[in-house]
Structure 1
Amino acid sequence: MKAFVVEKSEDKTFSSSIQEVLVPQCGEDDVVIKATYSSLNYKDALSSIGNPGVTRKFPHVTGIDVAGVVHETTSDAFTVGEKVLVTGYDLGMDTDGGHAEFVKVPASWVARVPMGITDKDIMTFGTAGLTAALSINELINNGVKPEDGEVLVTGATGGVGSIAVSILSKIGFNVVAVSGKQTQIEYLKQIGATEVILRQAFNEDAKKPMMAERYAGVVDTVGGDILANALKYIKYDGVATCCGLTASHELNTNVFPFILRGVRLIGIDSVECKLDKKQAAWDKLADEWKVETLASITNEIALEDIKATYQLMLEGQSVGRYVVKI
């Protein structure tokens, strides 16, 4: 079968290419998926350059997402021909991932593709969509409503950010987007943002320990100073979620938002999230949270395009979501 393989040389450098490799053999309580679509995520790009925080086993097939049909299984939970997907867990990290024609995973990682959504659309969502859905769920479950005020989305042109903007707009929120890409302002408005603030201006404006209350909620995808400054603007009893670190893994902030306004900061993890929670999020994404702007944030590529697209991601030049047709 064809697969996108990353290799580590003796001098500890990394290379990647499309290779012909053996189809994986189904073991006990495994599912072998005949892949139809996968996607690209920042974590995949890091894996492709040998980031040890993501992948330590080489040669390695990237791809933390995959959708397709059950080709073979030894699990009673699934039958051959069922439409399934996998995101998170160890897929694409130290377990060969979704950028291959066949993918073997433990049955405990596998979710069912909901009715009413295609494999391409479910992979347009992928880990990014799942993360966005889990973030928005936390806002809603903690009492944030459209009538409470605007919601801020940071890193808004990225995969998680784009989908979060689209879903929030669909369900009635006024969305303010923060982005470092001036050329993408119109794109962000097209997918649902009512206002776009450029990253430099946002950081420059938030110099005080606290700023005037503005946002009922925040979906942060980047970390660092952007998140620290966003916390200063949250209204009393507001909520921020954080799920990314492309700006920085450090958070230099103060306690004022938490002790003077009762602000809550909630971490989002879509990797080890329980399967039933994932399945519930997929069901929402296929139904009431399915966004009409999905096509406008999607770039379809082939296995052969993965390497060049990783470079765009690592340089911070990617926009929207990239789905891989297998």
Structure 2
Amino acid sequence: MSDSFKAYVLREDDNRKVTGAFEQVATADLPEGDVTVRVAYTTVNYKDGMVMNGIGRLVRSYPHVPGVDFSGTVEASTHAGLAPGDPVVLTGWRVGETRWGGYGELARVPGEFLVRLPDGLTLARAMALGTAGFTAGLAVDTLEAAGMRPDGGEVLVTGASGGVGSVAVALLAAKGYTVVASTGRAETHDYLKGLGAAAIVDRAELAEPPKRPLASERFQAAVDNVGGSTLANLLTQIAYGGAVAAVGLTGGNEVTTTVLPFLLRGVSLLGIDSVMCPKDRRERVWQTIASTLPMDKLDSVSHTHGFDELPVLGRAILKGEVRGRAVVSFEAPRSRGASG
């Protein structure tokens, strides 16, 4: 193992301003953990953009290497279940926040944080999924456990052109569901239909606070990336016994609603937490995604970038300028897809 590695390092000055730069970091400075991974790919999530730009005080100790997701091969291990050369993927566990993450050529974590790369996935495609794809898979798994089925009616995905939404649309369509995608970006309609969306609902139709406590029953279930008024509105349109998986809050974290959808229609509001999800469920959901999601659809929602593009991507994702999934390679990108 080399004595140092390249990483994108954040530092905080006396005025609490956070800045980032590429640096050579001593391997000895890696955090404690029983597995060291040679990182091949990482990605940029909205949370990464916040961390890179010092928003939300998610990081409490500097210097810090961000990156909440990574994939690569085990470089060294004292963990019983992992050996050098094993391909692995990491999402969650507050890596990239409370401990150093994947924006470096090396990462060190507890072995229990790592999932062995499922058959059918490459390291690049694992990062085309990342936290967003895993969250989408977890949402679909949760809704199916609550009774959602392919012949049960339409399933709505809000914020459909983002990372979680894109994978949710493609995964649901691959499973045989009739998917309705909600977006405010007209230029993404063809993109979403290509992923399998049967219909498009303009974001504005759901963004206003609901006018009545119950509207006509339309959707058997929904994957909601937005929260706020959108979540309040769609709760009124969920059919009897249906459910909503809440995965995001781009439209706000406060929801003003009534209990009537819950009391009169038996609707369930299900929270999705992908960060601390137990490892056994992680492995099952990753396997389901790998065996179900069409890889050509995954490639169509991803675009590959070089490691030096991280700062630009970190700013762009906060502005809503990143469509689908940004895969970051520690080698020069070979193509726009993530099949390598």
Aligned counterparts of 1:135 and 1:203: Cα–Cα separation in 2: 21
Please say if residues 179 and 198 of structure 1, whose CA atoms lie closer than 8 Å, have aligned partners that are also in contact: yes
Which residue in 2 is equivalent to 1:203? 207
**Which of 320, 326, 331 lines up with 1:316 in the alignment?**
320
Deviations 1:34-63 (A, max 9, x none): 011111111111111223452112121111
Greater alpha carbon shift after TM alignment, 159-168 vs 84-93: 84-93
Greater alpha carbon shift after TM alignment, 264-273 vs 114-123: 114-123
| Alignment coverage as a number of residue pairs | 326
Q: 1:7 to 1:88 in 2, by over 3 A?
A: same
Please say if residues 166 and 195 of structure 2, whose CA atoms lie closer than 8 Å, have aligned partners that are also in contact: yes
Aligned counterparts of 1:211 and 1:172: Cα–Cα separation in 2: 26
Greater alpha carbon shift after TM alignment, 9-18 vs 66-75: 9-18
Aligned counterparts of 2:28 and 2:176: Cα–Cα separation in 1: 45
**Which of 223, 226, 234 lines up with 2:227 in the alignment?**
223
Query: Are positions 1:84 and 2:88 aligned together?
Result: yes
Deviations 1:272-300 (A, max 9, x none): 00011101111111112344311110011
Query: Are positions 1:13 and 2:17 aligned together?
Result: yes
Written as runs of structure 1 = structure 2, the 5 A alignment for 1:135-174 is 135-174=139-178
Report the Cα offset of residue 25 of structure 1.
Answer: 6.1
Please say if residues 151 and 218 of structure 1, whose CA atoms lie closer than 8 Å, have aligned partners that are also in contact: yes
SS of the counterpart of 1:19? strand
Aligned counterparts of 1:243 and 1:28: Cα–Cα separation in 2: 31
SS of the counterpart of 2:15? coil
Which residue in 1 is equivalent to 2:98? 94
**Which of 45, 49, 58 lines up with 2:62 in the alignment?**
58
Greater alpha carbon shift after TM alignment, 108-117 vs 203-212: 203-212
Q: CA RMSD in A?
A: 1.6
Deviations 1:181-233 (A, max 9, x none): 12211111111111111211322494222110000000011211111111111
Aligned counterparts of 2:146 and 2:116: Cα–Cα separation in 1: 28
Report the Cα offset of residue 313 of structure 1.
Answer: 1.1
SS of the counterpart of 1:32? strand
Q: TM-score, normalised by structure 1?
A: 0.96
Greater alpha carbon shift after TM alignment, 281-290 vs 40-49: 281-290
Which residue in 2 is equivalent to 1:275? 279
Greater alpha carbon shift after TM alignment, 76-85 vs 203-212: 203-212
Q: TM-score, normalised by structure 2?
A: 0.92
Aligned counterparts of 1:318 and 1:28: Cα–Cα separation in 2: 33
Which residue in 2 is equivalent to 1:74? 78
Aligned counterparts of 1:23 and 1:39: Cα–Cα separation in 2: 22
Which residue in 1 is equivalent to 2:111? 107
Q: 1:87 to 1:78 in 2, by over 3 A?
A: same
Report the Cα offset of residue 90 of structure 1.
Answer: 2.1
Greater alpha carbon shift after TM alignment, 300-309 vs 48-57: 48-57
Q: Which amino acid in structure 2 is aligned with residue 178 of structure 1?
A: S
Deviations 1:150-189 (A, max 9, x none): 0000111111000000000111111111112122111111
Aligned counterparts of 1:196 and 1:79: Cα–Cα separation in 2: 46
Report the Cα offset of residue 28 of structure 1.
Answer: 6.9
The alignment-based identity, stated in percent, is 37
Q: Which amino acid in structure 2 is aligned with residue 108 of structure 1?
A: E
Q: 1:295 to 1:193 in 2, by over 3 A?
A: same
Aligned counterparts of 2:25 and 2:290: Cα–Cα separation in 1: 34
**Which of 245, 253, 264 lines up with 2:268 in the alignment?**
264
Q: 1:155 to 1:28 in 2, by over 3 A?
A: closer
Which residue in 1 is equivalent to 2:334? none
Greater alpha carbon shift after TM alignment, 195-204 vs 271-280: 195-204
Report the Cα offset of residue 139 of structure 1.
Answer: 1.3
